[in-house]
Amino acid sequence: MDKDSAARFRKTLISLKGQLAGDHERIVGASSEEFGADMPDINDEASRTMSRRILLEIGDKNFDAINQVNDALDRIEKGEYGICEECEDSIPVKRLELLPFAKYCVECQERLEK
C-alpha cells in the first residue's frame, strides 16, 4: 500500500477509535449511573438486571472493536497494513474502506469462519 492510502486509513481508524471510545465511555457511564442507584423495588430490579446485561454485552463488543482498531493502527506503523495475515496477499482497498480493521482478505476470512 502506498503512503497516501496508508495515511488516509490511519485517519479513518483514528476517528473510528474516537467514536468507539466515546461510545464505550457512554455505555460504561450509563451502566454505573443507572444501576448504581439503590432502589429496592423488586420489579425494577429484574428489568435493571436485564438492561445491564445488554449494556455490558454491547460494551464488550465495543471494546473488542477498539482492540481491532488499535491492531490495525499498529500494522500501519509497521508497514503491514492491508496485507492479509494468512496468505500475505494484499487486501483490496475496497474491502478496507468497508472494514478498515480487516486483517484478512475475503478468501481467508471466509475460510477462517468455517
Which spans of this chain sit near Zn ion (rule: CB under 5 A)? 84, 86-87, 105, 108
Nearer to Zn ion, 23 or 86 (CB): 86
Nearer to Zn ion, 27 or 108 (CB): 108
Region of residue 13 (phi > 0: left; psi between -120 and 50: alpha; otherwise: beta): alpha
Report, in Å, the least distance between residue 111 CB and Zn ion. Answer: 8
Report, in Å, the least distance between residue 84 CB and Zn ion. Answer: 3
Report, in Å, the least distance between residue 4 CB and Zn ion. Answer: 24
Q: Which three cell numbers stand for residue 88?
A: 500475505
Count of alpha carbons within 13 Å of 43, Cβ hemisphere only? Answer: 0
Is residue 83 classed as helix, strand or coil in its secondary structure?
strand
